[in-house]
Structure 1
């Protein structure tokens, strides 16, 4: 879902939501042929997603667009 929303591959670790329901995806840093950042360009604001438990389902929400995706392969536990 995050990859479809951002247009790039997204890889998460097993602990991605262990401490927070938020996921911030920053734009990749653009590098020149010498390996240095191009023109000091800003990468813009990160895209923010959050994970919610709705009934027995895990749902990922894009905060900017409010687009949602049920994550059928995931099990969510509400934080205390």
Structure 2
């Protein structure tokens, strides 16, 4: 079975959606600590932002959690 090398392009990703949701400028990187904290929290909880970028208090939604998981995975892929 041949894996599709360009799966990210076909995933239907909305560029900058996570940054806009967190009020972080698109040109700045989203801190890994913030992504980890969002993923660990359950949908409906309110978390505090450990970094100085963006909103201070963030309400975690299911969509925000999914976007954070994807961002974390893509960030890790870049380093390999």
TM-score, normalised on structure 1? 0.28
User: Which entry has the higher C-alpha Rg, 1 or 2?
Assistant: 1
Question: More helix by proportion, 1 or 2?
Answer: 2
Question: More strand by proportion, 1 or 2?
Answer: 1
Which protein, 1 or 2, shows the higher relative CO under an 8 Å CA cutoff with sep ≥ 6? 2
